Structure 1
């Protein structure tokens, strides 16, 4: 290169104009390439362990390994199971040898081996004896109780007699020890009002109080739930009851609030915003190590009918003849367990099943009502069979 020649001067280019997908006035789009969606799949990938469940969205249905493209969204959900550890307890484990070879080559088992086994009624735990619990496997329950009859056949192998081959046959068994109430309940069709004076011993009074907000000046309402005095009922029994609310007229008026519809067999009819329930509840308590797990479920919902005249859809205010000047509101109804309930309550150290009749009353507009919600449980016993005079 000639040294006398110098390079031309350099002038920087002007900056490139800024780019935007937004059209300016007077501009229009001539052609546009549509961008492919990040994912067009609607399936999901799921991986489950004992404690964790992971779900990933937007996956090809049936895919074994999740797949993603450029700038894809990894979207899903994570569920963590927070539960108590489980345990298994063997209540009884009885085994019997039905036949055993004497070792001779001519020994042959009989073709038919009759047997008779007595199902035990108790078991030992910690040096104490407890009744054997019934078969139990309830929906939503954290525990179950089951029994199995197993027949095991062991025989030596022909080439290696010191090794044995086994064959087992297992059959699940149900254990339902029968029980019945020690006394009958009143025949259906007899109302509480017609029997409480002539046969007061037939009824048991369950007392509770519907409290009020202290600053409201409203006197609490006394609640009496009358149930048959035997307090032990068969799973199929129709249990009559009578509900009476007692208090000054000002308290009962605050409770009634408004009237809605004619009385019927629904537990919440008759009063707007007021929910009155009488039902059978079951509590299952499972002991796992040092922890206790509690579960509750409703076994049967009661029906209520407000005692009213034919011309008035409101429950009747019954003015007391006593000197306290209190009025009353009265309902009557029946309770019965759902048909799928087959096991009464029981209690062992590892598992307790307790049944109760529950009275639940929620006042109208509970956030502003001067009355507070009532929830009262009264323990009862359930039996497999109804009372019988035949013993």
Structure 2
């Protein structure tokens, strides 16, 4: 039974008048171009082909970038194309294999090889290996879907992307890699006189890349914490830590460090009576590999003299070449797990530059207000951090035997280690292929 649409004529409330562009007295706070969905029936895949020819066997793969030297497939892709055979008359069987494996070498785990993809498809079979003639066509089309997952040690994981990383640590070199191959095997019958030599087989094998694409659920804010905290405090996460003076002779009080980021971990703020330092990061926790991630750091103290001394130290020319009080940087961890043995290596992805911000009226709160109940002196920095590596970087993933995790690290700079007790905290983030 269909009902007529409801009538809103009885309402006295006027519908707001919206405009696409800001009018006089208005400003655009944030703008992100919408991702247009493909038109129904429209194919948005690349229109080029990849061609590989060997031993009279030609493989043509569809939906590739023009002039590509290696075919590329994404999540839920079909490996499809055409197989061309120069002499199909004596062909008895054609098989296509899609394989993938993770290979790792480390001092504690040794050499480990795990298959993540193993598909065999029969494209043609005459059923008679000794038949002098074959009805095999010279051109055969195929289409085989790639799986989304694989199993290892009774656990299911997403199919990992193609990657290769050479790791060196403590005088030892080891690596982790994931490779995928396409192989076409053509079996041909021999004459009865040479049948004792076995089947005549030809192969066309090459590597292809598996690059699953993923975007963050929403884009990263392009503005600082102070310019967005009132309009959208939910976009930030606040994490608090303690800075404990190394010696009482320094005349510094315990301080609070507040960090403001896009939401990352369930880090509990400090609950003791020490003042804190705060770290603010974007709350989303998932970023594109090329994204610039904003952050804000605030140090809070109740004693004016203590903060003034610290400010003098950080601004002093003696420390000019040593940088600010903190260091913020990207760190990647590659962990290899095999038979209960674990080995992890860390290497840097990028370094942030901290810019000083004038003192505020008090401690920052994600309620959108500056806390003024108790006068708290503060020192502030803001900045952005991004991956600084120029070569192609694989996104974060967990494949069981190999786990790649990325961290934003906040720690004391070398010039500050004489003032405070050791301080280093990591915040796990997920890097994905697209922004």
Is this a same-fold pair by TM over 0.5?
Answer: yes
1:286 corresponding residue in structure 2: 336
Match of 1:175 among 210, 213, 220: 210
Contact 1:363–1:371 (8 Å) recurs in 2: no
Match of 2:391 among 340, 362, 378: 340
Give yes or no for the alignment of 1:259 onto 2:306.
Answer: no
Match of 2:138 among 95, 111, 124: 111
Contact 1:363–1:372 (8 Å) recurs in 2: no
Per the TM alignment, residue 126 of structure 1 is displaced from its structure 2 partner at its CA by 3.4
Contact 2:288–2:431 (8 Å) recurs in 1: yes
Match of 1:240 among 289, 294, 304: 294
Give yes or no for the alignment of 1:87 onto 2:143.
Answer: no
2:376 corresponding residue in structure 1: 326
- Distance in 2 (alpha carbons) for counterparts of 1:336 and 1:384: 14
- Distance in 2 (alpha carbons) for counterparts of 1:323 and 1:255: 23
2:272 corresponding residue in structure 1: none
In the superposition, relative to structure 1, how do residues 254 and 306 fare at CA in structure 2: closer, same or farther (>3 Å)? closer
Give yes or no for the alignment of 1:230 onto 2:284.
Answer: yes
Match of 2:255 among 221, 232, 238: 221
Contact 1:234–1:385 (8 Å) recurs in 2: yes
Instruction: Indicate the RMSD between aligned Cα atoms, in angstroms.
Output: 2.8
Contact 2:319–2:415 (8 Å) recurs in 1: no
Per the TM alignment, residue 122 of structure 1 is displaced from its structure 2 partner at its CA by 1.0
1:349 corresponding residue in structure 2: 400
Paired residue secondary structure (1:353): strand
Match of 2:219 among 184, 198, 205: 184
- Distance in 2 (alpha carbons) for counterparts of 1:341 and 1:225: 30
Structure showing greater Rg? 1
1:304 corresponding residue in structure 2: 354
Paired residue secondary structure (2:234): helix
More helix by share: 2
1:364 corresponding residue in structure 2: 415
Contact 1:151–1:170 (8 Å) recurs in 2: yes
More strand by share: 2
Bigger mean CA deviation after superposition, 298-307 or 81-90: 81-90
Per the TM alignment, residue 378 of structure 1 is displaced from its structure 2 partner at its CA by 0.5
Contact 1:208–1:376 (8 Å) recurs in 2: no
Paired residue secondary structure (1:282): strand
Contact 1:259–1:271 (8 Å) recurs in 2: no
Paired residue secondary structure (2:227): helix
Per the TM alignment, residue 377 of structure 1 is displaced from its structure 2 partner at its CA by 0.4
Contact 2:395–2:433 (8 Å) recurs in 1: yes
Contact 1:237–1:336 (8 Å) recurs in 2: yes
Paired residue secondary structure (1:385): coil
Per the TM alignment, residue 147 of structure 1 is displaced from its structure 2 partner at its CA by 0.8
TM-score (norm 1): 0.66
Bigger mean CA deviation after superposition, 270-279 or 332-341: 270-279
Per the TM alignment, residue 276 of structure 1 is displaced from its structure 2 partner at its CA by 2.6
In the superposition, relative to structure 1, how do residues 123 and 84 fare at CA in structure 2: closer, same or farther (>3 Å)? closer
Paired residue secondary structure (2:113): coil
In the superposition, relative to structure 1, how do residues 172 and 255 fare at CA in structure 2: closer, same or farther (>3 Å)? farther
- Distance in 1 (alpha carbons) for counterparts of 2:392 and 2:422: 29
In the superposition, relative to structure 1, how do residues 171 and 227 fare at CA in structure 2: closer, same or farther (>3 Å)? same
- Distance in 1 (alpha carbons) for counterparts of 2:294 and 2:319: 19
- Distance in 2 (alpha carbons) for counterparts of 1:334 and 1:126: 40
Count residues in correspondence.
Answer: 289
1:375 corresponding residue in structure 2: 424
Paired residue secondary structure (1:257): helix
Contact 1:279–1:335 (8 Å) recurs in 2: yes
Runs of 5+ consecutive residues of structure 2 not aligned to the other structure? 1-105, 168-173, 258-277, 364-370
Per the TM alignment, residue 306 of structure 1 is displaced from its structure 2 partner at its CA by 1.0
Paired residue secondary structure (2:118): coil
